[in-house]
Amino acid sequence: MPPTDAKTADTQSAEPAQADTGQIAEFERSLDELERLVAKMEQGEQSLDDSLKSFERGVALYRNCQSALEQAELRVKLLSDPHAPDDADEFDELP
């Protein structure tokens, strides 16, 4: 096993935290853009072509948000029971 110094250990432990922060920020940006896009589409003033482009962008943003939420759920399961994350209780679906 290669030797590790304090700096290397700090860098390795900080990397997941930085990645998590980036994922959270990306989720927040995607959700914010999706909300603005929906509001713009609800005004009904876009052309058909612009509406289709907005819809396509909205689907991509939705998928990004859904993926981020699934990653967060997995992390919670791993934190709740690192030895058997598959046995962790499922999150309740919204009605």
Enter the tokens of residue 90.
């499922």
Angle, helices 48-80 vs 6-42, to 10°: value is: 140
The answer to whether 42 and 25 are in contact (CB under 8 A) is no
Enter the tokens of residue 18.
């930085």
pLDDT tens, residue order, the chain (95 aa) = 455 554 544 444 455 566 677 888 899 999 999 999 999 999 999 999 999 999 999 999 999 999 999 988 888 888 887 787 777 666 666 55
pTM over 0.95: no
pLDDT at 84: 77
Look at residue 17 and give its three-state secondary structure: helix
Please, what are the domains in the chain? 19-80 (1.10.287)
Give the Cβ contact number of residue 95 at 10 Å.
3
Identify which of 86, 74, 67 has the alpha carbon closest to the alpha carbon of residue 26.
67
